[in-house]
């Protein structure tokens, strides 16, 4: 009997939702570059530039349940794997050309995420004017905790955001310091792509990005959301 596919399809990636059994089915992962002023400065840039975006594949996600410690393998080719703690907005209702004032109606919830980056490879690509994919879009480069529905998440745009590595503070800031807030980000993003339910938006990282090594445990926290704990192995 003929099978529908020539091989078994990859499984749908989904993320747990706090307070309910049904999971959030993943579509795309969008990421915003340089969206906190102090981080833009540490990367060598100043001034407010329009937001810009890159993507990660669905299998970049490492799902970490609340209270659990996830693991990510130290990736190939790099000697400079960086952490970037980020607030993640999860889209529940799609749309295009969404205005900032209407954008919040499209958000299902929020989570804590890590935009793990092969910084040496990203920097090589920047110098050559080439795409960032090899630096940003590899397997297990997007650990994420459970999604908290909007109504239970509190005011995430005023939340403290922090990351500890091996118990020591590396990044500490406040989501209110986003250059482009979540509504403005969605306005720009949805002008370029039609957002779909299941999309995630990694909204950018504050200053303090630095290297991790195998054996390090990362703990990311955003007020009102479950902490994200990941061990690099």
Closer Cβ to Mn ion, 33 or 92, answer by number: 33
CB of 84 to Mn ion, least distance (A): 4
| Concatenated DSSP letters of 20-39 | EEEEEE---EEEESS-BHHH
203 binds Mn ion (CB under 5 A): no
**Minimum gap (Å) between residue 86 Cβ and Mn ion:** 6
Q: Does 135 bind Mn ion (CB under 5 A)?
A: no
Contact stretch for Mn ion (CB under 5 A) within 51-59, 61-69, 76-84, 218-226: 76-84
Q: How far is the CB of 155 from Mn ion (least distance, A)?
A: 22
Q: Which is nearer to Mn ion, 106 or 119 (CB)?
A: 119
User: Which residues, 6 or more positions from 55, have their beta carbon under 8 angstroms from its beta carbon?
Assistant: 28, 29, 30, 31, 137
Closest C-alpha to 216, from 142, 166, 170, 163: 166
Number of residues binding to Mn ion, judged by CB under 5 A: 3
| Comparison of 37 and 84: residue with beta carbon closer to Mn ion | 84
Report the 10 Å Cβ neighbour count for 38: 13
Shortest distance in whole angstroms from residue 85 CB to Mn ion: 9
Cβ neighbours for 77, distance < 8 A, ≥ 6 positions apart? 118, 121, 134
CB 113 within 8 A of CB 143: yes
Q: Which is nearer to Mn ion, 198 or 204 (CB)?
A: 204
Mask for 13-52, x = binds Mn ion (CB under 5 A): ----------------------------------------
Do residues 91 and 197 make contact, with C-beta atoms less than 8 angstroms apart?
A: yes
Residue closer to Mn ion by CB (options 42, 102) is 42
CB of 8 to Mn ion, least distance (A): 33
- Candidate residues 37, 84, 187, 199; the one interacting with Mn ion per rule CB under 5 A: 84
Distance of CA 64 to the CA centre of its chain: 13
Structure letter (DSSP) for residue 95: B
Q: Does 115 bind Mn ion (CB under 5 A)?
A: yes
Are 109 and 218 a contacting pair, CB within 8 Å? no
Residues near Mn ion (CB under 5 A) are: 84, 115, 205
């Amino acid at each position: 009997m003929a099978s529908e596919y020539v091989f078994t399809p990859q499984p749908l990636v989904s993320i747990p939702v706090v307070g309910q059994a049904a999971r959030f089915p993943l579509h795309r992962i969008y990421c915003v570059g340089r969206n906190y002023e102090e981080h833009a400065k540490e990367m060598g840039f100043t001034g407010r530039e329009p937001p810009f975006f890159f993507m990660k594949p669905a299998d970049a996600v490492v799902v970490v349940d609340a209270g659990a410690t996830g693991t990510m393998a130290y990736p190939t080719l790099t000697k400079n794997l960086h952490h970037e703690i980020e607030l993640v907005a999860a889209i529940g209702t799609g749309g295009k050309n969404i205005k900032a004032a209407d954008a919040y109606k499209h958000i299902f919830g929020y989570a804590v995420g890590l935009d793990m980056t092969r910084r040496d490879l990203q920097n090589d690509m920047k110098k050559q004017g080439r795409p960032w994919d090899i630096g940003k879009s590899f397997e297990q480069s997007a650990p994420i905790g459970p999604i908290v529905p909007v109504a239970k998440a509190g005011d995430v745009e005023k939340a403290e955001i922090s990351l500890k590595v091996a118990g020591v503070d590396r990044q500490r800031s406040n989501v209110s310091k986003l250059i482009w807030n979540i509504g403005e980000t969605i306005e720009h993003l949805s002008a370029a792509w039609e957002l779909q339910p299941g999309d995630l938006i990694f909204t950018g990282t504050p200053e303090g990005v630095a290297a991790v090594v195998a054996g390090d445990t990362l703990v990311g926290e955003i007020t009102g959301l479950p902490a994200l704990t990941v061990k690099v192995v």
